[in-house]
Structure 1
Amino acid sequence: MYVQEHSMSTQHSISIHTDDRVKEQGDLFGVFFEDLNHAADGGLYAELVRNRSFEFDPIDNPDYTPLTGWTVLPTVGGTRATVADAHPLNANNQHYLVLGPAVSAADEPAGISNDGFNDGIPVQAGKRYRFSCWARIDDDSAASTAKLLVELRSHDLTAVRATESFAVAAGGWSKFEAEMTADHDDPTATLVIHSDDRATLDLDMVSLLPIDTFDDDHVLRRDLAKKIADLKPRFVRFPGGCLIHDGAFDPAARDSVYRWKFTVGPVEERPSKRSRWKYNQTFGLGFYEYFRLCEQIGAEPIPVISLGCNSHDHTEDPIENLQSWIDDALDVIEFANGPVYSTWGRVRADMGHPEPFDMKYIALGNEEEYQEFYDRYEIAHRQIHDRYPDIQIIGSAGACPCSDVYKPSFEQADRTGTPIMDVHFYHSPEWVVMNAYRYHSHPYHAKVFIGEYATLDDTWFNALAEAAFMTGLERTPAVAMACYAPLLNNVKYRNWDPVLIDFDGQSSYGTPDYYVQRMFSRNQGTSLLGTSDDIAHVVPSGYPVDGAASIAIGDAGMTIDDLTLTDLTQAGSADGGGVTLQHESHVVLAPDGTIALPLRTDGREHFRLEFDFVPAVPADPGSGGNEMRIRFAGTTDEDYAAVTINGWWGRALSLRTFEHGKESYYAVSHIKCLPNVSYHALMEVDHGTVSFALDGERIFRETLLPYEPDDLYYSAVRDADDTVTVKLVNVKDTPADVRLTFDHAVDATYSVEHMDGFSLDAKNDFEHPARVSPSERTEHAGDGVSPVYELDYPLPAHAVHVLKFRLIGEEN
């Protein structure tokens, strides 16, 4: 991965034209929040009780029961605790706990306990916690009054940390709440609700929220929200992601697609739903709370609304239901911006915010990439634009910038007047560096929103590669916005790796990627400045393809007939000649038998592979392991290139590389090869150029890029206060001596925020949360007093430096 270069410094000059404002940076860098990895419940949402409304269900996760998260006490005894639905709190909250009278126990209280989301409920001495619940005396109980005793206890139940009691009278559901103050620090406390001595109690919405939160609404966990706020993001994209289009299209279904209207109004009236990420969503953190978060941290909200399509499994709600999805988009704009006398503006006002949120953007769809969505998009775009012409509508350009839907999606955007298109990718750090200038050539009016990207790990090298890429985003007018994904991860519930912020029940830390994002986001500037330099953009040499090769399968078999591998090193491909290296008449690959056919390329860098194949019926059609890979250029099991048939969950043909196990895509075509159907494949590899044809039709011809980075990546921006910020990124292990020249004088004293000196594989963790993080210092140019027009700056190897200068002596 990391090629050692010579140890001498490279020398480069950069001239910064401080009056040449090339573009306004706008809302360039932001964050993306999706509730995966328990980022909301058990994360940013400060609720400390897991399964507070007894709505957990196997449809959320096969391991769930209605009492998941709860323990009946005594653990050996006869306390009756069941979940019922005969007399629900409301129509959206169907289940509640029926807690029978106390059963004597020598060592444990009688009742029920909850340990929260991690290894206990963390409490701090002197801190206040707001307990609340809804309760009633059960109809089958003869008692007219009951005592509701609530305690915070140590994990072994022997020590009481806080206590509160309530008197419950016969009748309907009533809400009980009080503040409890912990008398000891305890990172693993448990919430205990005691059974009454005589009465049977019905309980629902059992909640414990810290008073000490980031916000006055007591909704946002302080450390996590602060870390997000410290990024100073210009926008927050929410709530997804795959979350917004996965599930049943019937809103009444327990596993329905995320609909924002579920998430507003009184919290006890918000329904529980299955999350695409295999857990329960309470929607305690809903659209109102997202808008409030954006307001408090000064970020623009970008809600993402489904149009009733799921491109991942090619399903869609019937077209006659489209208007309900468009109404969701129209109504969320009214919720955010409408007057208090409007239907949804009144909902917002009733929740405590009569003033509009002044939303500017709305996104339609997530990674949508098939025609049914694009047909619906045009109808939705027209209605939204006609009613709200000032709202910027963000379309979907799919899940990969190398996809065959990328070009037509941008062409549709230009035809409809869509200003911004959202595209995602998760690629290797090497690919990201080599594509730093990818968007400097962009033949469309619609700008690019990279709504999700990451480099598949959270080492210093990953962060360094992302920094190089971000300088390219800053320097092109084609990119409107970009945000890393995902944002948060509760380490006990990891669905996706890597993230910006890892956390457990009581602490959190930023990854190296977090700190790079923070450096760029906090210093994105107001205007991009024109520059000139002597840095040669490296034209990569040919990609080495002389490694091992094979055809390999996963969970689905393949029959191969009449395979011929031909060496074209001498003959070339135009005359169809060459020397036959291998011929196979008939080969059967099966998951329970032979799973790979070696290809004897014997170090050739120009060869042709031709064969007929028939895919077998996969044992599990929904599995992600049904792809078939034609591998070549293999140096290890984690380093190779491959043409993949029936990848992306059986829906695409692609070309990609793997570097240390991290994949990068070069081409994705939405072609599915059906089982028991014969196909003819023709692949040619000419050094780093790979072409592939299926049944006589060329699918792609792409050139693979070896990792040969430039000596230096940089950008220069200017703020309204006449601060000029220069970002310098060196991904090589060779230091760089950089001469900076300004056309106007700058103060001799300037500040430097820098990240360097770390091992490339270094990571942060709970024990060393700032192992890879920035430092700050002040530097002086020239005599340290007189204004300067140029200075020499030594940039270490593997470094990200942000230099801030103050323009002086000019009318600006």
Structure 2
Amino acid sequence: MKPNLITKITLCGLLLNGFYGQAQKTTLEVNTTNTVTKIQPTMYGVFFEDINFAADGGLYAEMIKNRSFEFDTPLMGWEQPNSDTHSFNNESGIATTIKALENKTNPSFCRVLVKNDKGFEMINVGFRGMGIKKDAKYNLSLKAANHNGAIKKIIIQFIDKDKKVLGETSIVPTSNDWKGYSAQLTATQTEAKAQLKITFEGAGTIDLDMISVFPEDTWMHRKNGMRKDIVQLLYDMKPGFLRFPGGCIVEGRTLAQRYQWKKTVGDVEKRETLINRWNTEFEHKPAPDYFQTFGLGFFEYFQLAEDLGAQPLPILSCGMACQFNTGELVPMEELDPYVQDALDLIQFANGSVETPWGKVRSDMGHPKPFNLKFIGVGNEQWGPDYIARYKVFEKAIKDQYPNMTIVSGAGPFPEGDYFDYGMEELKKLNAEIVDEHYYKNPQWFRENATRYDNYDRKGPKIFAGEYAAQSVAIASPDNKNNWECAFSEAAFMTGLERNAEVVNLTSYAPLMAHEEAWQWTPDLLWFNNLEAYGSANYYVQKLFATNRGTDLINITKDEKAVTGQNHLFASAVKDVVSKDVIVKLVNTSSSAQEVNIDLKGNKLSSKGTLTTLTSANLEDENSFANPKKISPIESEIKVKNNKAITSLPPYSVTVLKIKMK
């Protein structure tokens, strides 16, 4: 049955339930004293992958596309509207690219021949434009070699679609040899689709490279850093971990295109540009201009994890290209460099400044180790080839770093032959954490809240590393971040939390998408060049993550876990630090449900708080026009004799928090 048909049937079922049923009255018992298990600090985290222009054009605040002329088409992103190539009568000049082969990582630069004073222009189009805000400051930098001092001045301007100037600065290039220059522009108005125009005074030849513009106001005011509004949304979630850099981007379509972390650290100018594997993956949304400059590299990922108060969780290639593409394999006898990459990464993260890779980290400005505790081997590989390679990685890592926790994978699906084989083999190997992925329709998430109830408590721990309800079908361009998807994920998450003895890490995927440059939907966060907002799914994730608690406690109905009876799902925790009892309730019915919560054990405050997410329409979504259409509403609830009574709205996610005396 097609997922969209399942969704329609589910919707009909929910509506019929509301038509025939009356508001349910349910009594739930919560034992506030007995701890079932500890909730891991990593229980709720975020998974970052450079898909949907999430890095360049997104989180990484660089505004210039193809700043160092290294794309496969070296002048992609750059226009020269009045050059010789467009008008033989004008003959104002021309820009071409030169490849200096002795420079292995950044070989190309732009050579500009300015013939006269007719105003030769170069325009950078940005990432679907450039978002600038009135009175905000933007830092420009570039490298130039001014042959014989021919060019007297370089004029740099923000312009809009009508070529109106929205901010201007200039640079006087003073050297025949390569030299760095910087200046600052102040935007005179807000514009989502600005471009950067460069014009030249004088006549002759000048070479340009690394033309860059960043907002001055970045996250934590770091020079050439990350977009503040996007990181703020992540910070507000209080994630327990940050998984990076993917995702299928780890593997690459081919091994040559895999993610190689060593090429993403050190001097930004020396980081080698690589085509993004999502560039032509989907016919519905090709992105031939999608490349990785790696300005957002492994150092920046570790730093971001530290900023978020999250454990870093890097995932590395195991010598297998994406099995949905080429499935290219490194022969077992040639696997050593891949294994060494993993060992060197641990040294980069945790080694002293006296170690070779610890020194690289220190030279980048972070002498203190990053305290890496987890490392992932492969993304979602499957089959005997993966298991054989995993064994080699596991032995090498444990021999040198016995306390490092290794994350393995059970393939791309939550069931079937690939999954069954992987889980069986990983159990034999006493794997520590197995990464499971599930992209399914909303009904599947509601029906699988009990997925982990019968998992072996002595077997591998589970990382629910990628999941998101698909309103239409996996990878469909028509998927929506609608409310049915969000509350269905919440229902499933109560099952993850109830099984915290087994489930130690969870993360929605993908994390973010550019409004105009996405490849995959749905996504947790959406952004354009000026704004970012959280989807309904984001608010579900945030509600669970900021109410994680420290100890799992039992919540039952008639001594049974609440796993969808009468369309009600529940989990409960307590926080021994803040002294809170926290109950999470999900009503997936079209009717309100009255719930009597009997809290046994600790004496509680006479009032608590209710935080509710709800919408009457299953198809409702947040948007740029209405970014908080579905967002938390907080109210007070009275508690009498350790009992609280509340009415759960139809299609709602509710968190009840009460202080313990």
TM-score (norm 2): 0.90
Query: Structure 1 CA distance, aligned partners of 2:302 and 2:656?
Result: 33
Given that residues 166 and 189 in structure 2 are in contact (C-alpha distance below 8 angstroms), is that contact kept between their aligned partners in structure 1?
no
2:660 is equivalent to residue 807 of structure 1? yes
Identity of counterpart residues, as a percentage? 35
> Which aligned pairs between 1:28-427 and structure 2 lie closer than 5 A?
28-57=43-72, 65-74=73-82, 76=87, 77-87=90-100, 90-101=103-114, 103-105=116-118, 109-118=119-128, 120-138=129-147, 142-143=148-149, 146-171=152-177, 173-218=178-223, 219-250=225-256, 256-278=257-279, 279-310=290-321, 311-312=323-324, 313-427=326-440
Look up the SS of the partner of 2:365 in the other structure: coil
Look up the SS of the partner of 1:333 in the other structure: helix
> Which aligned pairs between 1:372-521 and structure 2 lie closer than 5 A?
372-443=385-456, 445-456=459-470, 457-476=480-499, 477-521=501-545
Query: Structure 2 CA distance, aligned partners of 1:55 and 1:393?
Result: 35
Look up the SS of the partner of 2:204 in the other structure: coil
Whichever residue aligns with residue 501 of structure 1, its letter is: L
Query: Structure 2 CA distance, aligned partners of 1:538 and 1:13?
Result: 11
Look up the SS of the partner of 2:553 in the other structure: strand
Given that residues 488 and 501 in structure 1 are in contact (C-alpha distance below 8 angstroms), is that contact kept between their aligned partners in structure 2?
yes
What is the aligned partner in structure 2 of residue 726 from structure 1?
Answer: 583
What is the aligned partner in structure 2 of residue 713 from structure 1?
Answer: 569
Whichever residue aligns with residue 289 of structure 1, its letter is: E
Look up the SS of the partner of 1:437 in the other structure: coil
What is the aligned partner in structure 2 of residue 18 from structure 1?
Answer: 32
Task: Identify unmatched segments of 5+ residues in structure 2.
Answer: 1-9, 280-289, 471-479
What is the aligned partner in structure 2 of residue 609 from structure 1?
Answer: none
What is the aligned partner in structure 2 of residue 754 from structure 1?
Answer: 612
Given that residues 554 and 571 in structure 2 are in contact (C-alpha distance below 8 angstroms), is that contact kept between their aligned partners in structure 1?
no
What is the aligned partner in structure 1 of residue 3 from structure 2?
Answer: none
Given that residues 117 and 201 in structure 2 are in contact (C-alpha distance below 8 angstroms), is that contact kept between their aligned partners in structure 1?
no
Q: Deviation at 1:472?
A: 0.3
Look up the SS of the partner of 1:232 in the other structure: coil
Look up the SS of the partner of 2:555 in the other structure: strand
Query: Structure 2 CA distance, aligned partners of 1:507 and 1:185?
Result: 12
Query: Structure 1 CA distance, aligned partners of 2:149 and 2:605?
Result: 80
Query: Structure 2 CA distance, aligned partners of 1:178 and 1:799?
Result: 51
Whichever residue aligns with residue 193 of structure 1, its letter is: I
Q: Deviation at 1:143?
A: 4.2
| CA offsets 1:668-688 (integer angstroms, 9 cap, x no match) | xxxxxxxxxxxxxxxxxxxxx
Query: Structure 2 CA distance, aligned partners of 1:486 and 1:382?
Result: 31
- For the pair shown, the structure with the greater C-alpha radius of gyration is 1
Query: Structure 2 CA distance, aligned partners of 1:155 and 1:9?
Result: 56
Query: Structure 1 CA distance, aligned partners of 2:75 and 2:465?
Result: 37
| CA offsets 1:357-396 (integer angstroms, 9 cap, x no match) | 0011001101110111110110110110111111110001
Given that residues 62 and 213 in structure 2 are in contact (C-alpha distance below 8 angstroms), is that contact kept between their aligned partners in structure 1?
yes
Relative to structure 1, the CA distance from residue 86 to residue 429 in structure 2 (aligned partners, 3 Å threshold; closer, same or farther) is: closer
What is the aligned partner in structure 2 of residue 630 from structure 1?
Answer: none
Given that residues 12 and 535 in structure 1 are in contact (C-alpha distance below 8 angstroms), is that contact kept between their aligned partners in structure 2?
no
Look up the SS of the partner of 2:173 in the other structure: strand
Query: Structure 2 CA distance, aligned partners of 1:308 and 1:353?
Result: 30
Given that residues 102 and 194 in structure 1 are in contact (C-alpha distance below 8 angstroms), is that contact kept between their aligned partners in structure 2?
no
Given that residues 489 and 503 in structure 1 are in contact (C-alpha distance below 8 angstroms), is that contact kept between their aligned partners in structure 2?
yes
Given that residues 758 and 772 in structure 1 are in contact (C-alpha distance below 8 angstroms), is that contact kept between their aligned partners in structure 2?
no
| CA offsets 1:733-768 (integer angstroms, 9 cap, x no match) | 122111111222211111111012431110111111
Query: Structure 1 CA distance, aligned partners of 2:405 and 2:607?
Result: 41
Given that residues 145 and 169 in structure 1 are in contact (C-alpha distance below 8 angstroms), is that contact kept between their aligned partners in structure 2?
no
Given that residues 491 and 502 in structure 1 are in contact (C-alpha distance below 8 angstroms), is that contact kept between their aligned partners in structure 2?
yes
Pick 1 or 2: higher relative contact order, CA cutoff 8 A, min separation 6: 2
> Which aligned pairs between 1:633-652 and structure 2 lie closer than 5 A?
none
2:623 is equivalent to residue 770 of structure 1? no
Structure having the larger proportion of residues in strand? 1
Relative to structure 1, the CA distance from residue 21 to residue 102 in structure 2 (aligned partners, 3 Å threshold; closer, same or farther) is: farther
Greater shift in the superposed pair: 307-316 or 368-377? 307-316
What is the aligned partner in structure 2 of residue 664 from structure 1?
Answer: none
Query: Structure 1 CA distance, aligned partners of 2:150 and 2:61?
Result: 35
Given that residues 376 and 408 in structure 2 are in contact (C-alpha distance below 8 angstroms), is that contact kept between their aligned partners in structure 1?
yes
Given that residues 608 and 638 in structure 2 are in contact (C-alpha distance below 8 angstroms), is that contact kept between their aligned partners in structure 1?
yes
Query: Structure 1 CA distance, aligned partners of 2:179 and 2:380?
Result: 44
Q: Deviation at 1:144?
A: 6.0
Q: Deviation at 1:137?
A: 2.4
Given that residues 463 and 512 in structure 1 are in contact (C-alpha distance below 8 angstroms), is that contact kept between their aligned partners in structure 2?
yes
Given that residues 152 and 163 in structure 1 are in contact (C-alpha distance below 8 angstroms), is that contact kept between their aligned partners in structure 2?
no
What is the aligned partner in structure 2 of residue 655 from structure 1?
Answer: none
User: Number of matched residues?
Assistant: 615
Query: Structure 1 CA distance, aligned partners of 2:417 and 2:627?
Result: 41
Task: Identify unmatched segments of 5+ residues in structure 1.
Answer: 58-64, 251-255, 540-707, 783-787
Whichever residue aligns with residue 756 of structure 1, its letter is: T
Given that residues 93 and 120 in structure 2 are in contact (C-alpha distance below 8 angstroms), is that contact kept between their aligned partners in structure 1?
no
TM-score (norm 1): 0.73
Q: Deviation at 1:212?
A: 0.4
Q: Deviation at 1:777?
A: 1.5
Relative to structure 1, the CA distance from residue 269 to residue 245 in structure 2 (aligned partners, 3 Å threshold; closer, same or farther) is: same
Query: Structure 2 CA distance, aligned partners of 1:270 and 1:538?
Result: 52
Relative to structure 1, the CA distance from residue 385 to residue 505 in structure 2 (aligned partners, 3 Å threshold; closer, same or farther) is: same
Query: Structure 2 CA distance, aligned partners of 1:442 and 1:116?
Result: 49
Q: Deviation at 1:710?
A: 4.3
Given that residues 486 and 499 in structure 1 are in contact (C-alpha distance below 8 angstroms), is that contact kept between their aligned partners in structure 2?
yes
Given that residues 99 and 111 in structure 1 are in contact (C-alpha distance below 8 angstroms), is that contact kept between their aligned partners in structure 2?
no
Given that residues 638 and 644 in structure 2 are in contact (C-alpha distance below 8 angstroms), is that contact kept between their aligned partners in structure 1?
no
| CA offsets 1:636-668 (integer angstroms, 9 cap, x no match) | xxxxxxxxxxxxxxxxxxxxxxxxxxxxxxxxx
Given that residues 461 and 504 in structure 2 are in contact (C-alpha distance below 8 angstroms), is that contact kept between their aligned partners in structure 1?
yes
Given that residues 383 and 422 in structure 2 are in contact (C-alpha distance below 8 angstroms), is that contact kept between their aligned partners in structure 1?
no
Query: Structure 1 CA distance, aligned partners of 2:373 and 2:536?
Result: 31
Look up the SS of the partner of 1:195 in the other structure: strand
